[in-house]
Amino acid sequence: MLVGYLGPKGSFTHDVATHSFPTSERIAYRTITDVIKAYENQEIDFAVVPVENSIEGSVHETLDYLFHQGTIQAVAEVVYPIKQQLLVAKKDRLIRTVYSHPQALAQGKAFLRAHYPDVAMEMTASTAYAARYVAEHPDLEIAAIAPLAAASEYSLEVQARDIQEIEDNYTRFWILGAKEPAMSETLSPALQKISLALTLPNNLSGALYKGLSTFAWRGINLTKIESRPLKTALGEYFFIIDLLNEAPDLIQFAYQELDSLGIQTKVLGRYQVYTLKDNGMEKR
Stretch that binds a second copy, among 5-13, 155-163, 204-212, 248-256 (CB under 8 A): 204-212
In contact, 165 and 110? CB cutoff 8 Å: yes
Q: Rounded to an integer, what distance in angstroms lies between the CA atom of residue 134 and that of residue 252?
A: 52
Please report whether residue 249 would count as binding a second copy according to CB under 8 A.
Answer: no
Q: Rounded to an integer, what distance in angstroms lies between the CA atom of residue 283 and that of residue 128?
A: 30
Q: Smallest distance from the beta carbon of 203 to a second copy, in angstroms?
A: 8
Please report whether residue 178 would count as binding a second copy according to CB under 8 A.
Answer: no
Using the minimum distance from each CB to a second copy, give the nearer residue, 78 or 151: 78
Options 22, 189, 229, 248; binder of a second copy; rule CB under 8 A: 229
- For residue 147, whether the previous peptide bond is cis, meaning omega lies within 30 degrees of 0, is no
Stretch that binds a second copy, among 136-144, 146-154, 180-188, 222-230 (CB under 8 A): 222-230
> Which stretches of the chain are DSSP H helices?
12-20, 32-40, 60-68, 102-115, 127-136, 148-153, 204-216, 248-260
Q: Rounded to an integer, what distance in angstroms lies between the CA atom of residue 43 and that of residue 36?
A: 10
- Return the half-sphere exposure (C-beta side, CA atoms, 13 A cut-off) of residue 243: 26
Please report whether residue 123 would count as binding a second copy according to CB under 8 A.
Answer: yes
Cβ atoms within 10 Å of 244's Cβ, excluding its own: 14
Please report whether residue 250 would count as binding a second copy according to CB under 8 A.
Answer: no
Using the minimum distance from each CB to a second copy, give the nearer residue, 111 or 170: 170
Q: Smallest distance from the beta carbon of 253 to a second copy, in angstroms?
A: 16
In contact, 115 and 179? CB cutoff 8 Å: no
In contact, 40 and 26? CB cutoff 8 Å: no
Q: Rounded to an integer, what distance in angstroms lies between the CA atom of residue 77 and that of residue 48?
A: 9
Using the minimum distance from each CB to a second copy, give the nearer residue, 182 or 222: 222
Residues in contact with a second copy, counted by CB under 8 A, come to a total of 43
Please report whether residue 54 would count as binding a second copy according to CB under 8 A.
Answer: yes
Options 220, 254, 268, 276; binder of a second copy; rule CB under 8 A: 220
Q: Rounded to an integer, what distance in angstroms lies between the CA atom of residue 95 and that of residue 110?
A: 16
Please report whether residue 53 would count as binding a second copy according to CB under 8 A.
Answer: yes
Options 90, 115, 137, 284; binder of a second copy; rule CB under 8 A: 284
Q: Smallest distance from the beta carbon of 146 to a second copy, in angstroms?
A: 16
Using the minimum distance from each CB to a second copy, give the nearer residue, 22 or 262: 262
Per-residue binder mask for a second copy (CB under 8 A), 69-108, x = binder: ----------x----------------------x------
Cβ atoms within 10 Å of 227's Cβ, excluding its own: 13
Using the minimum distance from each CB to a second copy, give the nearer residue, 47 or 79: 79
Any idea how long the chain is? 284
Please report whether residue 257 would count as binding a second copy according to CB under 8 A.
Answer: no
Beta-strand ranges (E) seen in 187-258 are: 187-199, 222-229, 237-244
Q: Rounded to an integer, what distance in angstroms lies between the CA atom of residue 201 and that of residue 262?
A: 6
Q: Rounded to an integer, what distance in angstroms lies between the CA atom of residue 268 and that of residue 250?
A: 19
Question: Which parts of this chain interact with a second copy (CB under 8 A)?
Answer: 52-57, 60, 79, 102, 123, 125, 166, 168, 170, 172, 203-206, 208-209, 212-213, 215-216, 219-229, 231-235, 237, 284
